[in-house]
Amino acid sequence: METQNFEEKLLKMTKPEVNQLKHQDMLADAITNAKDKSVVSWWWLSIPLFIIAMLTMKSVYMPHTTLISNIKELKSQQPVTSVIFFLIVPFCLIIFNAFSILKIWSLTGDHKDSNSVRAIWVNGLMIFFSIIILIFYAL
Amino acid sequence: MTEIELLNKIKNNPSEFSEFFKLYYKPIFGYILRRTGDFDDTADIAADTFLKAFRNINNFSYRGISVKVWLYRIATNEVNLYIRQKKRDSTIFERINVADNDLFNSYLNDDKKELEAELQKHEQFLLVVKELKTLPVKYQEVISLRYFEGKDNKEIVEILNIKEGTLKSLLSRGLEKLRNKCNQF
């Protein structure tokens, strides 16, 4: 009986209500802008990786050619394109992804869930592929 | 607009998240405020809740629950995490980039003044929350959802992902414990 009365008191008791929150819109914008841009990074990375895949295929199917000779040929025939996609893009992606990892790390603090760990892993993978592309260019 | 239409809009264009925010931020903020009884903790936990929701929104449709239930679930986990850790290393507002920091802080201070005044109007509620916070988290969450948020068994079972029998037993034992603590009422 006493518990029932207490239950009724809890239900009837007035509770604080939230009517207006001025900071709401600015917070929504800040959260929307905090999303990582890994899809854009993958698009840029896919171009030099695709070229490397093509050059690898060429060295396999064309006699007397190697991947290194094909990369050297590309560098001499397409100097601007090769510098952009094999030097500038991977270099920028390494910096961008390193900052992205730092940002996710600070955003998640001590509460790293599976999504933030996956985002850090994807960024790390992009840094790895960017380094591979730089190594191919240096060959 | 239905929940599915809104979710599809956000998936296609993340800037549509502000619509989602307009719909759900206030009720979730209210829920966290009624659980913690403190504005600063509430603002921090609510922001963390919506950041998590935003980051996981693409996976949402596979969960088979309504958006509101999903948000209550994230908020409940965040509040429980906060209660268990007692303190946070840094607030989310130190970790996200707001367009105009001064303006944002002034808005936040205005909201704080208003809601602290609102909390003071409900003295009896604050006393109950103070006693509730001394109980184990499992009792806090069921009592808060039932008596502060007015949720029925079906909704609480969905939010906490527990069986109805477990809920009934937690409610009964939790209520008895809270009543003993609040025997002055």
3-state secondary structure B21-48: HHHHHHHHHHHHHHHHCCHHHHHHHHHH
- The pLDDT value recorded for residue B91 is 65
Chain A residue with minimal CA distance to B18?
A28
- The pLDDT value recorded for residue B61 is 63
Residues of chain B with CATH 1.10.10.10: 122-185
Interface test with A, best of B22, B100, B104 (most A CBs within 10 A): B104
Topology adopted by domain B1-121: Rna Polymerase Sigma Factor; Chain: A (1.10.1740)
3-22 in B: which are within 8 Å (CB) of A? 14-15, 17-18, 21-22
Is ipTM over 0.90?
no
Q: Give the minimum alpha-carbon distance from A138 to chain B in angstroms, rounded to a whole number.
A: 38
> Is A16 in the B-facing interface, judged by CB distances under 8 Å?
yes
Please tell me the class of the B122-185 domain. mainly alpha
Across the interface, whether the CB atoms of A109 and B89 are under 8 A apart is answered yes
Question: pTM of this prediction?
Answer: 0.68
Contacts of A100 in chain B (CB under 8 A): none
> Is A17 in the B-facing interface, judged by CB distances under 8 Å?
yes
Q: Which helix (H) or strand (E) holds A93?
A: helix A89-108
How far apart CA B73 and CA B70 sit, in angstroms, is 5
Residues B89-134 have pLDDT tens digits of 556 666 667 777 788 888 989 999 999 999 999 999 999 999 999 9
> Is A39 in the B-facing interface, judged by CB distances under 8 Å?
no
- Domain assignments of chain A as residue spans, ordered by start: 37-138
Residues of chain B with CATH 1.10.1740.10: 1-121
Distances, alpha carbon A95 to alpha carbons A41, A100, A102, in Å = 11, 9, 11
